[in-house]
A and B are shown apart, each in its own frame.
Chain A
């Protein structure tokens, strides 16, 4: 048995040693490069966000994304976007933590608050948890990047949340429970009847917010981390298609979304941060989803050019008042 253990030990040592000479996989190199580029450029402003940031509508004559528009308004500053395919406050927090620990302190960091993404159908969607990127960031910070790939092959970043648990998450309309995620995220979803649109508006916007919400907790950690590092965090609540919401859900839509907006503002102001509220500022014609039907069946926050210009001008104004960047 002793001989066997010695051989196993020798074998493991050789494999571990050789692992240091293995090239990093290309997809991993790409991910690292994305983060490294930001570290190298040391921009003044990092604009975090999801697909709404990169979006341009088919009818737009100028295909300029929101970060590009902001860049045009801040000619003296270096503005960089850090976009993920979907909204996830926890990954923004991890990215910021990485930059701070690498001793890079941008002048300001911008975080849109996309209220639809705080809904259970978005917050708990297993595909949008970015566990892999969190593991990658940790491996870069803790110096085990060479073992990142083998460890992920053996599911170090294994997602605890299963599809079953996601589908069982409760859905609320205000304080009233109206079902589980599985009642809303199913095949019916692919047929945009009036009732389905109403149900989708309910599941996406009618939840009540509380301090226990993961995104709220991450948001507060972002505020505390930024302030401790001398970085100014800028939050703005993205425009929502209220007209469609009221049309399908009724006045209760306005009440609930306003409650959620007020809650976020209150939580942030307790930390000394003001959030720019653009939630009710644009009508349906500024949103791009009606022209994306049938690919996009339900309202989202993707804006047409005029809508994007409106948001960026307001954001710029808001930043100027704070003397940023």
Chain B
């Protein structure tokens, strides 16, 4: 069930109403059942993977916690890693590596006949396996006690607001909250609902509208000139942001209604002034996961500059691979790692240039330049993320490099039509500006708090306008949340 479906519009109020009506001791059971129902509405049989992951990690966590033998603790950690990564590998990566191996063997003129597996990627598998792994790893490190209640642990794995696309929570944060008694709190519930409304607006009005241009242009890049490809890429940057942060807002809002505070997943990433800062603002729950469980165990920056560079590069490549079994994602991750390293290598040089040009006297201009440069670099990487193949990605970059003088075509009947008529295109640009304006405002303090202080005659028309805009200017076409595929 997707958040932007009628199914969810009915499911959520029913779940919440019964949740608050039930005595506290039965609430976990209700939420667990609701979460499984939520997940099984896609493919019931894939709930078995959730059950497997839950049971293995529950048992592993309990055993690791109870055991004093280092070898035994390590054995159960390895078991948990093997099962979770095994699931991920089988369902997500097997065909990719198998295809790569087949290609390699054919290049060497060797026969290779291992067939691909015919399975559909289970929704959210990368998210819930990473969340359960963080539990086992934290228990192994002694930072979290094993959860004694199987039901609560199962709820930690399948908690429906963040099950299929995060935020990827940590056991220290989520598990205690699932056991906390939360009463109905008017202020908290309305805050949650407001966030859900804003998230829905970002998804169905902005992201899905931009997706029309993106899908058109990236579907047949050879049909378009440089300007259309630039427009498609910039639109994709905002599409993926509104799509994913919209999902996160709905997830965080839904959990908040039920008294659970999920971690922030986005913090105005396109206002970042460097790639390093961008990664502190984009998909925060994943980047901190990679930091804590990959980058730091690899040695972080404690083993010299050379090793640090490898650690950075490897972490980013793995993060790219996490997104999808395709060379495009690997290049996307690698490119971000490369940006990160280049920014480190050139830090001194850039500081000298700034001093020489006396740019430090104009902090606003310097900030603006940094934001634009970072955004441009991020957009360049998005080309790899969105293109179907590496060939397409290089073609797009090459075509953009040839110039952006070709006009945009807004007439459906003309070749090179960009996907939207002129008025809709301008409306889409307006939505992007609105989004950025809200983000700039957020930089000056929480917009929600500012908004909540307004009288009802200001707030209610805004709520109603948002609801009516979503209902009437939302996009009807089936455009799934991008991160569902990961």
Contacts and interface: CB of A to CB of B under 8 A. Distances in A.
B471 A153 contact: yes
A1 interface: yes
Given A1-B20, A1-B184, A132-B476, A14 B471 contact: no
A15 B475 contact: no
B71 to A, nearest CB: 43
Interface in A1-37: 1, 3-4, 11, 14-15, 18-19, 22, 25
A156 B463 contact: no
B406 interface: no
Contacts of A132: 476
Contact of A164 (B120, B467, B470, B478): B120
A158 B5 contact: yes
Contact of B478 (A19, A25, A159): A159
Contacts of A41: none
Given A15-B467, A15-B468, A164-B120, A153 B475 contact: yes
Given A3-B186, A158-B5, A164-B120, A152 B464 contact: no
B259 interface: no
A1 B470 CA distance: 26
B468 A155 contact: no
B167 interface: no
Contact of B472 (A1, A11, A22): A22
B189 interface: yes
A19 B471 contact: yes
A157 interface: yes
B468 A18 contact: yes
Given A4-B189, A15-B467, A18-B464, A155 B472 contact: no
A159 B2 CA distance: 13
Contacts of B470: 153
B258 interface: no
Interface string A255-270: 0000000000000000
A220 B372 CA distance: 62
Nearest to B42: A162
Contact of A155 (B4, B184, B471): B4
B474 interface: yes
A158 B472 contact: no
Interface string B88-105: 000000000000000000
A283 interface: no
Given A1-B20, A19-B468, A149-B472, A154 B5 contact: yes
A153 B186 CA distance: 29
Contacts of B471: 15, 19, 22, 149-150, 153
A25 B209 CA distance: 14
A141 interface: no
Contacts of B204: 153
Q: Is the interface of A mostly helix, strand, loop or mixed?
A: helix
Interface centre among B184, B464, B478 (most CB of A within 10 A): B478
A124 B190 CA distance: 44
A132 B475 CA distance: 12
Nearest to B21: A1
B6 A156 contact: yes
A152 B208 CA distance: 13
Nearest to A162: B120
B357 to A, nearest CB: 50
B14 to A, nearest CB: 13
A17 to B, nearest CB: 10
B441 interface: no
A325 to B, nearest CB: 33
Nearest to B184: A1
A155 B474 contact: no
B466 to A, nearest CB: 10
Interface in B437-486: 460, 463-464, 467-468, 470-472, 474-476, 478
A188 to B, nearest CB: 15
Contacts of A156: 6
B9 interface: yes
Contact of B464 (A11, A158, A168): A11
Given A4-B186, A164-B120, A154 B6 contact: yes
Contacts of A293: none
A154 B467 contact: no
A164 B476 CA distance: 21
B124 to A, nearest CB: 16
A154 B4 contact: yes
Nearest to B204: A153
Contacts of A164: 120
A317 B406 CA distance: 53
19 contacts: A4-B186, A4-B190, A11-B463, A14-B464, A15-B464, A15-B471, A22-B472, A25-B472, A132-B476, A149-B476, A150-B472, A150-B474, A151-B6, A153-B4, A153-B470, A155-B476, A155-B478, A164-B120, A168-B118
Interface of A: 1, 3-4, 11, 14-15, 18-19, 22, 25, 132, 149-159, 164, 168
Given A4-B190, A19-B468, A150-B472, 13 more contacts: A11-B460, A11-B464, A15-B471, A19-B472, A22-B471, A132-B476, A150-B471, A154-B6, A154-B9, A154-B474, A155-B6, A155-B478, A168-B118
Shortest 9 CB-CB contacts between residues of A and residues of B: A153-B474, A150-B471, A152-B476, A154-B6, A155-B5, A1-B184, A164-B120, A15-B467, A22-B472
